[in-house]
Chains A and B, each alone.
Chain A
Amino acid sequence: MSKLGFLFTAYLLIWIVLAGYLLSLFTRQRRIDRELLNLQEQLKRRS
């Protein structure tokens, strides 16, 4: 690989890792919000 190839790969991987992490944050947040809402409804019903 040429020097420019290494440079391109490094920056591409940085954005892939950051985008992957951001996506995982949003996915986890959505899942946890849904679960919280569900649990709160169950608690309300119970009380």
Chain B
Amino acid sequence: MRNAEARTRIFDGALWAVTSLAIAAALYAVFLYAPTERTMGDVQRIFYFHVASAWVAFLAFFVVFLASVLYLATRNLQHDLIAASSAEIGVLFTTLVLITGPLWAKPVWNTYWTWDPRLTTTLVLWLIYIAYLMLRAFAGEEEKTARFAAVFGIIGFLDVPIVYFSIRLWRTLHPKPVIGGSEGSGLHPTMLITLLVSLIAFALLYATLLRLRVRLERARREVRRARLALNA
């Protein structure tokens, strides 16, 4: 038991160290390595953390989707625990997208917000998962909540491909995809490396936060069970 605890502590420490190093590398790449974009200037450097936040939010919501499917298939509450934790972190990263996007848009489009398909679907995505977290916070019995939340988590995920493809399907102000986009699109190699480093840093940050959030959720459920046992 003690060995397992020591191993967990070592793993957590190592994960923190690697995440911190990756974030430092990403900041170095964003501010010192990546070239200044010709038309937008320095403000384009928001792009690296804006896109990384969006991709990690998609990853978090995909984990919610996967864990929800697994919960419905197996009724194992461990999957529900992961879904609940990942949803909160997905909302956190979507919040970062919704903060950095308008700050990038203002100097480039001359407006903080426009009801553009990409922006609107992203806001809807954020609201869907806020509703998901509220459902969890206010529902009663553990298994019933898990069942409802799993169905919500699966249906809510439908908005992720809509957000992703919105800039391909509709006319939009938002920049077209820079990876896997149309001919002539793409990134300068140093910009691409910077984006990948930022993406790795944020993915590691997601993993670190998920471990912390899962631990919290586990303790919260233990408290609920202890309260029930005490009241029985």
Contacts and interface: CB of A to CB of B under 8 A. Distances in A.
B42 to A, nearest CB: 5
Given A14-B96, A36-B222, A3 B42 contact: yes
B227 interface: yes
Interface stretch (B6-14, B161-169, B210-218): B210-218
A3 B49 contact: no
A13 B99 CA distance: 8
B230 A3 contact: no
Interface string B63-98: 000000000000000000000000000001001100
Given A6-B43, A32-B220, A14 B230 contact: no
A31 to B, nearest CB: 10
B99 A42 contact: no
B226 A32 contact: no
Contact of A6 (B53, B104, B219): B104
Given A3-B107, A14-B99, A17-B99, A25 B216 contact: yes
Interface string A9-27: 1110110011001100100
Contacts of A18: 92, 96, 205
Nearest to B91: A21
B230 A43 contact: yes
A6 B107 contact: yes
A29 B212 contact: yes
B219 A29 contact: yes
B interface majority secondary structure: helix
B103 interface: yes
A24 to B, nearest CB: 10
B46 A35 contact: no
Contacts of A17: 92, 95-96, 99
A43 B226 contact: yes
Contact of A10 (B103, B212, B215): B103
Contacts of B222: 36
A35 B49 CA distance: 37
Interface of A: 1, 3-4, 6-7, 9-11, 13-14, 17-18, 21-22, 25, 28-29, 32-33, 35-36, 39-40, 42-43, 46
6 contacts: A7-B42, A10-B103, A14-B49, A21-B92, A21-B209, A29-B215
